Amino acid sequence: MPVSWTNYLGVRDMCTVISHNAGGYSFYKSAEHGRITRFRPNGVPLDRPGHYAYLRDDETGDYWSISWQPVGKDLKQTTYQCRHGLSYSKFISDYLDIHAEQLLFIPIHDDVELWDIVIKNNGSRLRKLSIFSYVEFSFQHIEIDNQSFQMSLYASGSNYQDGIIEYDFFYEPWNYHFMAANFEPDSYDGVRDRFLGNYRTETNPIAVERGKCCNSTELGGNHCGALHKRLILEPGEEIRLIFMLGVGSRAEKGRLIKKKYSDPNNVDQAFQELKSYWHQKLSALQVKTPHQGMYTMLNTWTIYQAETCVVWSRFASFIEVGGRTGLGYRDTSQDAMSCIHTNPAKCKQRILELLNGLTSMGYGLHLFDPEVFKSKEEKLPGVKLPTIKPMPKPADIIHGLEDVCSDDALWLVATVCEYVKETGDMAFFDEVVPYADKGEGTVYEHLKKILDFSAEHIGRHGICQGLRADWNDCLNLGGGESAMVSFIHYWSLNIFIEAAQYLGRDADVQKYSSIAAKVKSACEEILWDGKWYIRGFTKTGRKIGTQESSEGKLFLNGQSWAVYSGAASEERGRMCMDAVNEHLFSRFGLHLVWPAYSQPDDEIGYITRVYKGIKENGSIFSHPNPWAVIAECILGRGDRAMKFYDAMLPYNQNDMIEIREAEPYSYCQFIMGKDHSAHGRARHPWLTGSAGWFYFAATNYMLGIRVNFNGLMIDPCIPKEWQEFEVQRKWRGATYKIIVKNPECIMKGVKSIRLNGKKVESPIPPQKAGSVNEIKVLMG
C-alpha cells in the first residue's frame, strides 16, 4: 500500500490504532497522557514501531514477521494478508510451509490487547521454530516520548516474574503495563536495545537473529515487551498461542489476565462478545439497496467510522498522534448526531460534556478537555511530580470572544433534539447542567443561550459574525460576516421551534419564530448574488464568494446550507445547486471553493495562505459533501444526490488506489483538488465529520427514513432507476421492516404507506416496544 491503511481496536477505555503492517500504538483513555506503546509519528519507514510477532526457523536461522512489516520479506516468496474488521485486525502469512495468523483485538470488558496466534506446519517434515512478541513501551505522556528525555529516560523500568514483563512508570506509581502469554517463555527482553541490538531496527532484531532474548530488565532506559517461545511442529500440526498486552500491574491485573486468557475458550468468548456487540449495533439500521457500494458502506464501515469519532474523539490517528486531548466543540457536536441509534449512551455522555463546555454567554469552548469539569481524586496528595499532567482549573480554560468560532455551539441544538427524537426522552430537556464559567441551567435553557448568542452577534448587514472562524477553520473573518453561520442559525432555530412546540412552550415558539423570520429575510435579501449565495463579508464589507471576485467566487457551503436550512426559495435553491454541479464537481467529489486562492488576503483568512487544491483552499473537502447530497434530496433531485454521493464513496475509489492512496473503507478529511498536481489523492482518514454526515445524509435523506419527536418519517429521494429498496430500523424498542417500491421510476414522492397492512400517513407513531412491524411504501 502506498500509505498506512489503519483500523481501530477497542470500544471502551483501551484503544489501539493499527495499520495493515501491524504498526501503530495503544493508549488507555487518553492518547496524550495514557500511552501504552510508542509510535514514531510521520516516520521513516512508515508506521513504526508496532505490535509485532516474529517467527524464526531455528534450523536455518531464517526469520519473518506475521505481518509483512517489519521484516518485509520478498513478496515473491511470501504471501501476506491483512484483514481489518470491526474492532479487530488479523495478519496472515504463508512462508516456507508455515501458515501463521495473528488476530488482534481488545475484549469489551478487559483492558488488554490479545494476540490470538495460530501457527500451522503445512509441510511434510518436522519444524523447529521460535516465536517472539515485540512492542515498545511508551513513556506514558506524548510530550516526554518526544521531547526532553533527561528525566523520562530514567523514570521507567521493567521487571520480569511469573512469565510476565511488567513495565512501570516510577514517577506515577499507579501506571503499569505488562506483556504476558499463555506459556512459560524460553527467554524474554524488557530492555528495548537488548532485543533490537545497536544500530539495528525492528526489521532485524538481534534477539530474533540469534534465536534467543537475553533476559534483560532494567530500571531506567527504553523498554519493550518481548517474550520468546520455542516450538516443535509435526507435519500438519497446529499450535495456538496467546499474547496479552495489558494495562495494570502484575499483582493487580497481569496474573489475573494471564490466567483468564491462557484458556483459549475465554479468548473465543471475548471475541464472540465483540462480534455480538457490533452485530447488535449494526442491527439498529440495515439497508438493502440496488447500489451495493452504498449498502456495504452504510451497513458496516460508515457507521463504524462515525462511532470511532464519537468514542475516541478526533485526536488519535497517524495524523493526529495524540498531541491534543479532549473535544472539539463543533466536531463532537456533529459526530454525536450520527450514531445515537447505535450508541445512545456514549452520545449522551458527549452531549452532556458539550453542554458543560458551554459558557453562560452562550458560546462553546472551542477545544476543551471535559475531564477539567469532573472532580478528580488527587492520586498523590502533596507531591509535585515532574511528569504529571497539569490539570487546569475550569476558570483557566474559559476563553474570550476572540477565540470563539461562530458555528461551534449551534451544532449542538440539532444534536440534542436528535437525541430526544431517537430516545423519546423528553425529560432530557429539563435536566440541569452547569455552564463552563458560572451557574447552571436546563438543557433547554442551554439551547436558548446558543440561539441567542448567534442572534446577538451579527454584523452590519444583519448576517452572523464570522469571529475567529466558522465551520471553515481557515475563514477568519472576525467582525466580518458568515453566510454559513446565518444558515446554520436558521436551521437550528427551526429545529428548536419544533421542540418548543412539542413541549408546549408557546412563548418560546413565538420569540424564536420571529427571530427565525428575521434571519431568513436577511439571508434572502443580503446573500443572494444572482446565480448563487455569497459566503459572507470581510470586516471592511467586501463580499466573499461573489461572481465579481476573480478567486474564491463560489463556495460549496454557502449553497448547500442555503437549501438545507430551508432559507432559500426553491428557485434559488435549484440555481445555486446547479452552479455547484457546474463549477465544483469532480469525479472524486465536490470542491470546497472555486477558483482556489493564490493571493494572501488576511481579511479573508488563512485559507488564502494554503497551497491551491489542498485542504480548505480548493480541495475536495469531504465533510461538506454530504450537505450537498441533503440539499439535492430536499430539491427532489435523487439522481444528482446519488451522483454527489457516489463521487466520494470510498468504495468506488477502491480501483484507483494508485491515485487515492488512502484506505477505501474510510472517508478521508480531504482529497486533493483539481488545482493540485496530486488531484484525487485522499488524506487524513477516519477522524472526519464526513462519515457521520454521509451516513446521516444517506439514511435520513436519500433513503428518507428519519425519526421525529412523535413519529417515523418516510420521505425518500432516490435515483429514478431504483425500483425498490429496504430498510430495517429499530426505534424506541420496536423494529420496522420497511420496503419501498418505485414502479413509476420517480425520484421523490410517496403515494401510500401501509403499516402492518393498514393505510397510514407519515409520520408513523412509535409502535409498541418489542413489536416487529411491516411497512410497505409506494412511491408515486
Give the binding range for ligand NOJ (CB under 6 A) out of 52-60, 141-149, 373-381, 465-473: 465-473
467: left (phi over 0), alpha (psi -120 to 50) or beta: left
Give the binding range for ligand NOJ (CB under 6 A) out of 153-161, 222-230, 327-335, 341-349: 327-335
Give the binding range for ligand NOJ (CB under 6 A) out of 122-130, 328-336, 531-539, 719-727: 328-336
Q: What does the buried/exposed string (b/e) look like for 422-440 if buried means 16 or more CB atoms within 10 Å of the residue's CB? A: bbeeeebbeeebebbeeee
Q: Which three cell numbers stand for residue 534?
A: 455569497
φ, ψ (nearest 5 deg) of residue 728: -110, 120
x-marked contacts with ligand NOJ along 421-460 as a string, rule CB under 6 A: ----------------------------------------
Neighbouring CB atoms inside 10 A of 754's CB total: 14
Q: Which three cell numbers stand for residue 759?
A: 393505510
Distance CA 678, CA 642 (A): 25
Q: Which CB sits closer to ligand NOJ, 233 or 544?
A: 544
| CA angle at 374 for the pair 371 and 375, rounded to the nearest 5° | 125
Q: Which three cell numbers stand for residue 23?
A: 504498526
Q: Which three cell numbers stand for residue 709?
A: 419527536
Q: Which CB sits closer to ligand NOJ, 137 or 694?
A: 694
Distance CA 418, CA 424 (A): 10
Among 471, 533, 537, 665, indicate the residue that binds ligand NOJ (CB under 6 A): 471
# residues near ligand NOJ by CB under 6 A: 8
Give the binding range for ligand NOJ (CB under 6 A) out of 42-50, 79-87, 102-110, 326-334: 326-334
- H or E element in which residue 642 lies: helix 638-648
Q: Which CB sits closer to ligand NOJ, 120 or 324?
A: 324
Distance CA 40, CA 4 (A): 13
Our finding on whether 331 is near ligand NOJ (CB under 6 A) is yes
HEC string for 205-255: CHHHHHCCCCCECCECCCEEEEEEEEEEECCCCEEEEEEEEEECCHHHHHH
* Closest approach of ligand NOJ to the CB of residue 617, in Å: 11
* Closest approach of ligand NOJ to the CB of residue 407, in Å: 8
* Closest approach of ligand NOJ to the CB of residue 683, in Å: 12
Q: Which three cell numbers stand for residue 508?
A: 418560546
Give the binding range for ligand NOJ (CB under 6 A) out of 237-245, 324-332, 358-366, 433-441: 324-332
* Closest approach of ligand NOJ to the CB of residue 595, in Å: 19
Distance CA 369, CA 440 (A): 19
Which single residue is written with the C-alpha cell 443572494?
Answer: 528
* Closest approach of ligand NOJ to the CB of residue 471, in Å: 5
Q: Which residues pair with residue 376 across a beta bridge? A: none
Distance CA 285, CA 278 (A): 12
Which single residue is written with the C-alpha cell 541490538?
Answer: 197
Task: Tell me which residue has its CB nearest to ligand NOJ.
Answer: 473
Residue 690, CA distances (Å) to 124, 172, 243, 384, 624 in order: 52, 39, 36, 43, 7
Among 185, 328, 364, 573, indicate the residue that binds ligand NOJ (CB under 6 A): 328
* Closest approach of ligand NOJ to the CB of residue 616, in Å: 5
Of 295, 187, 191, the residue nearest 695 (C-alpha): 295
Q: Which CB sits closer to ligand NOJ, 472 or 742?
A: 472
Which of positions 599-628 make contact with ligand NOJ (CB under 6 A)? 616
Among the listed residues 58, 94, 473, 601, the single catalytic one is 473
Give the binding range for ligand NOJ (CB under 6 A) out of 91-99, 436-444, 469-477, 510-518: 469-477
Which of positions 644-683 make contact with ligand NOJ (CB under 6 A)? none
Give the binding range for ligand NOJ (CB under 6 A) out of 121-129, 148-156, 323-331, 757-765: 323-331
* Closest approach of ligand NOJ to the CB of residue 4, in Å: 20
Among 33, 253, 330, 681, indicate the residue that binds ligand NOJ (CB under 6 A): 330
* Closest approach of ligand NOJ to the CB of residue 694, in Å: 15
* Closest approach of ligand NOJ to the CB of residue 202, in Å: 32
x-marked contacts with ligand NOJ along 567-596 as a string, rule CB under 6 A: ------------------------------
Q: Which CB sits closer to ligand NOJ, 15 or 405?
A: 405
Our finding on whether 472 is near ligand NOJ (CB under 6 A) is yes
Q: Which CB sits closer to ligand NOJ, 365 or 718?
A: 365
Among 58, 425, 452, 473, indicate the residue that binds ligand NOJ (CB under 6 A): 473
Q: Which CB sits closer to ligand NOJ, 418 or 616?
A: 616
* Closest approach of ligand NOJ to the CB of residue 485, in Å: 12
With beta carbons less than 8 A apart as the criterion, state whether 527 and 466 touch: no
Query: Cβ contacts of residue 633 below 8 Å, gap of 6+?
Result: 641, 697, 701, 702, 704, 717, 748
Query: Cβ contacts of residue 604 below 8 Å, gap of 6+?
Result: 475, 476, 477, 538, 544, 552, 597
- H or E element in which residue 750 lies: strand 750-755
With beta carbons less than 8 A apart as the criterion, state whether 176 and 249 touch: yes
Q: Which three cell numbers stand for residue 512?
A: 424564536
Give the binding range for ligand NOJ (CB under 6 A) out of 255-263, 389-397, 470-478, 673-681: 470-478
With beta carbons less than 8 A apart as the criterion, state whether 698 and 298 touch: yes
Our finding on whether 468 is near ligand NOJ (CB under 6 A) is no
Q: Respond yes or no: is residue 473 known to be catalytic.
A: yes
* Closest approach of ligand NOJ to the CB of residue 484, in Å: 10
Our finding on whether 369 is near ligand NOJ (CB under 6 A) is no
Our finding on whether 403 is near ligand NOJ (CB under 6 A) is no
Active-site annotation, residues? 473
- For ligand NOJ, the binding residues (CB under 6 A) are 328, 330-331, 471-474, 616
